[in-house]
């Protein structure tokens, strides 16, 4: 399975709507730390995600260590710039009766 698909699946596990905390995504993704960091960097370069800052005041040291740092910038969240399945966007899907 490719890295983008693995990250999308991990994002769906988070049950968040638009922005997704990087430390939580890292925990949900089935990737080693270097692979995870590389995948986020590639997706950002390809403009499939945007890395966002955020407030870390309520986070503990481990959560902060699991964020992405580039120079003096600490990235806390990502937002997908490419569509995710309807479930990830908070829309309900309606099944057929009898199933």
Q: Could you tell me the CATH number of the domain that includes residue 27?
A: 1.10.10
Domain span including residue 7: 3-82
Q: Looking at the domain assignment, is residue 89 inside a domain?
A: no
Q: Looking at the domain assignment, is residue 66 inside a domain?
A: yes
Confidence of residue 83 (pLDDT cuts 50, 70, 90): confident
The pTM (predicted TM-score) of the whole model is 0.80
Whole-number Å distance between alpha carbons of 26 and 85: 20
Write down the pLDDT at residue 84: 74
Q: Looking at the domain assignment, is residue 97 inside a domain?
A: no
* pLDDT above 60: residue 91: no
Within 13 Å, how many C-alpha atoms sit on residue 19's CB side? 11
- Give me the helix-helix angle, 33-45 and 3-14, nearest 10°: 100
Q: Looking at the domain assignment, is residue 91 inside a domain?
A: no
The total number of structural domains in the chain stands at 1
Q: Looking at the domain assignment, is residue 99 inside a domain?
A: no
State what percent of residues in the chain have pLDDT above 90. 67
């Amino acid at each position: 399975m490719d890295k983008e698909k693995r990250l999308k699946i991990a994002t769906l596990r988070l049950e968040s709507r638009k922005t997704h905390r990087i430390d939580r995504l890292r925990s949900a993704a089935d990737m080693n730390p270097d692979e995870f960091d590389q995948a986020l960097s590639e997706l950002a370069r390809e403009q499939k995600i945007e890395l966002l800052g955020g407030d870390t005041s309520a986070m503990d040291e481990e959560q902060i260590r699991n964020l992405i740092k580039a120079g003096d910038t600490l990235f806390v969240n990502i937002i997908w710039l490419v569509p995710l399945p309807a479930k990830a966007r908070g829309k309900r899907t309606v099944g057929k009766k009898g199933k």
